[in-house]
Amino acid sequence: MRPLRILFVSSEVAPFAKTGGLGDVGAALPRALRAAGHDVRVVLPFYARVAEGGHEVRPTWGALEHQLGPHRLSFTTLEGTLPGTDVPVYFVHCPRLYMRPSIYTMDVDEHLRFALLGWAALRIAQQLRFAPDIAHVNDWQSALVPLTLRSVLAWDRLFERTRTVLTLHNVGHQGTFGAHVLSELGLEAARGMFHQDELGAGRLSFLLHGILYANAITTVSPTYAREITTPEQGVGLDGYLRGRADVLFGILNGIDGREWSPTHDPYLPHRYTADDLSGKARCAEELSRRVRLPHRPGIPRIGMVSRLTWQKGLDLCFEVLPWLLARHDAQLVVLGSGERKYEDFFARLAHLAPDRVAFANTFSEPLAHLIEAGSDMFLMPSRYEPCGLNQMYSLAYGTPPIVHRTGGLADTVQHFDRRTGRGNGFAFEHFDARGLAWALDQALSTYDDPTAWRRLVDNGMREDFTWDRRVAEYEAVYAKLVPEAAR
């Protein structure tokens, strides 16, 4: 296809700002699109943590003013580059909104923070005279862009040919505010395009309006694309998503082989390949040192790296992990932060069994990489999982994942069958403690059979989860919207 001009808007782009998978995808997808020849421009807020990260940025044009209802906001644009590429990243620098300790807040002006992001992306395109073929927006934070282009910016010839794609990374987060925020989005003139029943009920959801007005919608795995059209998993949006089923596509995320491959990983003290796992054993040793666990080769070590939230299925751990530790000689290394009750649980477990359980209650990129490399298996019992990246990292790192068969986990993890030697991990069907206990038992008994385990590890490490394959699927979606480009 001919190279497209793509305006890519995301509230997270690693390494600048990341709280989870969106950050990884927000960097990897633009990088992969650029490698495929497209002209990609990324827009992201200049959060306090970006400022503190010491990234190289330079000022561009002067301040732009933007009126959101009664709020007169002024922002400047800083330009940087996506590492390893020549993709320009435009940071929206509005200290009043973004200089806060965290990326997302519960503050009363959260709607303003991301209404401005969408607007700023379009203002920046205007400033650059950059006429996008595709405005690719992500999650609720930039979901008002399609409606904006169809309404109050419909006059601008620059966007005449622009088609919009909304990627849903997690429909559990919808950006729902009180209906009163409508007068603070800069979209008062488009009042009639907002869902009137929702407004009548006193609500305004950013994500819903993205779903209603984007030209195409993608989500991050084929299974999740089906799941979100059901009442059980649509979190109230299933009806709208069924209504748009003809333009809803499930495309699995990839993993970025520059960062997440045991042969290239810049964070690992020792690198390794599927043919020679000696570096993995040395990483395990280093991990023991780092988290202060006795190093006991041959004893299975289960790793976890996760936001500690309801979505991640951690409630099952309350019952199952103490049982597991009583029944099996195994170690557990957990990295994560989030809800208090989960943090307390893992802290207690580590306190009760200090030579078997380590809990790092923080966010640490280097430790996340070391856990993937230095564990024998990886636990991810998510209640729901749009795609999930960690299970793919685990597969690549020879650390078979133990997962609940849902969303992207169902698309990437096949239960290992010792008879046929097929499969790359362990997956339980029903989300309950018995299911998880069963999968853990299966994993630990397979671990006791070194030939079977080697085969299992090998199956995962030889799979290709890189973005190169996924990009063609995004291009196919773009080509549906810009048919003249598909040649």
> Using CB under 6 A, which of the segments 139-147, 236-244, 342-350, 359-367 binds ligand ADP?
359-367
* Greatest extent of the chain over all pairs of C-alpha atoms, in Å: 68
Report the nearest approach of ligand ADP to the CB of residue 397 (Å). Answer: 11
> Using CB under 6 A, which of the segments 85-93, 98-106, 290-298, 301-309 binds ligand ADP?
301-309
**Which of 167, 174, 390, 442 is in the footprint of ligand ADP by CB under 6 A?**
390
Give the span between the Cα atoms of 487 and 477, in whole angstroms: 14
Give the span between the Cα atoms of 355 and 86, in whole angstroms: 47
**Which of 162, 233, 306, 406 is in the footprint of ligand ADP by CB under 6 A?**
306
Q: Return the SS3 of 63.
A: coil
Q: Which residues, in sequence order, are CB contacts of 341 under 8 Å at separation 6+?
A: none
> Using CB under 6 A, which of the segments 21-29, 209-217, 277-285, 417-425 binds ligand ADP?
21-29
Give the span between the Cα atoms of 361 and 427, in whole angstroms: 26
Nearer to ligand ADP, 123 or 312 (CB): 312
**Which of 26, 313, 388, 435 is in the footprint of ligand ADP by CB under 6 A?**
388
Site membership for ligand ADP, residue 336 (CB under 6 A)? yes
Nearer to ligand ADP, 337 or 414 (CB): 337
Backbone angles phi, psi at 15, to 5 degrees: -90, 5
**Which of 137, 335, 373, 456 is in the footprint of ligand ADP by CB under 6 A?**
335
**Which of 3, 15, 20, 222 is in the footprint of ligand ADP by CB under 6 A?**
20
Nearer to ligand ADP, 279 or 401 (CB): 401
Site membership for ligand ADP, residue 368 (CB under 6 A)? yes
Report the nearest approach of ligand ADP to the CB of residue 195 (Å). Answer: 27
Q: Return the SS3 of 432.
A: coil
Residue 27 in contact with residue 139, Cβ under 8 Å?
A: no
Site membership for ligand ADP, residue 233 (CB under 6 A)? no
Report the nearest approach of ligand ADP to the CB of residue 219 (Å). Answer: 13
Site membership for ligand ADP, residue 257 (CB under 6 A)? no
Report the nearest approach of ligand ADP to the CB of residue 236 (Å). Answer: 19
Q: How many CB atoms lie within 10 A of CB 70?
A: 7
> Using CB under 6 A, which of the segments 1-9, 158-166, 334-342, 475-483 binds ligand ADP?
334-342
Sign of CA dihedral 441, 447, 452, 456: positive
Report the nearest approach of ligand ADP to the CB of residue 21 (Å). Answer: 2
The two tokens of residue 23 are 């950050």
**Which of 81, 127, 364, 414 is in the footprint of ligand ADP by CB under 6 A?**
364
Nearer to ligand ADP, 22 or 437 (CB): 22
Strands 176-178 and 58-59: unpaired
The length of the chain is 487
Report the nearest approach of ligand ADP to the CB of residue 336 (Å). Answer: 5
Site membership for ligand ADP, residue 305 (CB under 6 A)? yes
Residue 387 in contact with residue 168, Cβ under 8 Å?
A: no
What is the x/- site pattern for ligand ADP, positions 56-75, by CB under 6 A?
--------------------
Q: Return the SS3 of 383.
A: coil
Could you write out the DSSP letters of every residue in 285-344?
HHHHHHHT----TTS-EEEEEEEESGGGTTHHHHHHHHHHHHHS--EEEEEEEE-HHHHH
Site membership for ligand ADP, residue 412 (CB under 6 A)? no
Number of residue whose CB is nearest ligand ADP: 21
Site membership for ligand ADP, residue 24 (CB under 6 A)? yes
What is the x/- site pattern for ligand ADP, positions 186-205, by CB under 6 A?
--------------------
C-beta contacts of 426-434 below 8 A and 24+ residues apart:
426/377, 426/400, 426/401, 426/402, 427/402, 427/403, 428/381, 428/403, 428/404, 429/405, 431/313, 431/316, 431/381, 431/383, 431/404, 431/406, 432/316, 433/316, 433/319, 433/320
Site membership for ligand ADP, residue 175 (CB under 6 A)? no
Give the span between the Cα atoms of 289 and 302, in whole angstroms: 16
Q: What Å distances lie between residue 93 and 27, 45, 96, 154, CA to CA?
A: 19, 6, 9, 26
Residue 89 in contact with residue 81, Cβ under 8 Å?
A: yes
Nearer to ligand ADP, 22 or 316 (CB): 22
The two tokens of residue 93 are 């620098």
Site membership for ligand ADP, residue 256 (CB under 6 A)? no
Report the nearest approach of ligand ADP to the CB of residue 166 (Å). Answer: 17
Site membership for ligand ADP, residue 375 (CB under 6 A)? no
> Using CB under 6 A, which of the segments 100-108, 242-250, 332-340, 460-468 binds ligand ADP?
332-340
Residues paired with 92 in a beta bridge: 45, 77
Q: Which residues bind ligand ADP (CB under 6 A)?
A: 20-22, 24, 305-307, 335-337, 363-365, 368, 387-390
